[in-house]
């Protein structure tokens, strides 16, 4: 009888371990940012980067794109966002090569390609600043629900996290912790 109770205890413990393993292996990862569910297809962006090269968002399929809107004379949100993205990519180490950071200008009058290049280089020379004609930019602002007025001074502050398939999956605010951003980007790189 004692032996039967031991076997039942071992079998019960094994069952609990198996159930725990199934739970851990099948649960969905917990993202730290605001999850967009279901994911939204990211609208195409066709602008010019600060190097004078054409930029198409669809050319970056296979990468995670961190997209935000701002201007180089911004006193607070834009530098904070860019600094946090710099730190997030540093956390990713070699996996950062699978990420493209992009800032779309909200001040096409003052955000020259040279100014955008200088601004982005203060944080990471691989980050891209995008500009275009007023009409080209207005289309992108509209597509991403960004309201711009006062020469770029009022703008959307969300960081759009676009997965390798081209879908908006997560939103972050400029105050988001770099560790949270890098954790979510890492999950997307892994295909979660």
Total count of domains within the chain: 2
Both 107 and 129 in one domain: the answer is yes
Determine the pLDDT at residue 149. 82
Residue 66 binned pLDDT confidence (cut-offs 50, 70, 90): very high
What CATH number did the domain enclosing 178 receive? 3.40.30.10
Same domain, 26 and 108: no
Q: Where in the sequence is the domain holding 8, given as residue range(s)? A: 1-30
Q: Based on the domain organization, do 17 and 97 belong to the same domain?
A: no
* pLDDT mean over 162-177: 95
Q: Is 139 exposed, middle or buried (0-12, 13-18, 19+ CB in 10 A)?
A: middle
Note whether 135 and 167 are same-domain residues. Answer: yes
Phi/psi at 159 (nearest 5 deg)?
Answer: -100, 120
- 142 and 112 together in one domain: yes
- Verify that 61 and 112 share a domain, yes or no: yes
Show Cβ contacts of residue 158 under 8 Å, excluding neighbours closer than 6 positions: 68, 171, 172, 173
Assess whether pLDDT exceeds 80 at residue 5: no
Question: Which pLDDT score is estimated for 1?
Answer: 56
- On whether both 38 and 119 belong to a single domain, the answer is yes
State mean pLDDT over 145-157: 78
Q: Tokens at residue 83, please?
A: 């600094």
Answer whether residue 86 shows pLDDT above 90.
yes
- Paired strand residues for 68: 103
């Amino acid at each position: 009888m004692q032996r039967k109770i031991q076997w039942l205890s071992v079998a019960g413990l094994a069952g609990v371990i198996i159930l725990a393993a199934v739970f851990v292996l099948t649960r969905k990862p917990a993202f730290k940012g605001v999850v967009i569910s279901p994911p939204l297809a990211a609208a195409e962006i066709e602008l010019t980067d600060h190097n004078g090269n054409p930029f198409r968002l669809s050319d970056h399929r296979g990468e995670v794109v961190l997209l935000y809107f701002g201007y180089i004379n911004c006193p607070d949100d834009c530098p904070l966002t860019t600094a946090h993205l710099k730190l997030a990519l540093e956390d990713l180490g070699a996996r950062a090569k699978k990420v493209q950071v992009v800032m779309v200008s909200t001040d096409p009058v003052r955000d020259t390609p040279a100014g955008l290049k200088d601004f982005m280089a203060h944080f990471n020379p691989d980050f891209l600043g995008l500009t275009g004609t007023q009409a080209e930019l207005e289309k992108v602002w509209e597509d991403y629900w960004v309201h711009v007025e006062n020469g770029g001074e009022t703008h959307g502050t969300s960081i759009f996290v676009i997965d390798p398939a081209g879908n908006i999956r997560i939103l972050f605010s400029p105050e988001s912790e770099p560790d949270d951003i890098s954790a979510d980007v890492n999950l997307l790189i892994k295909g979660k």
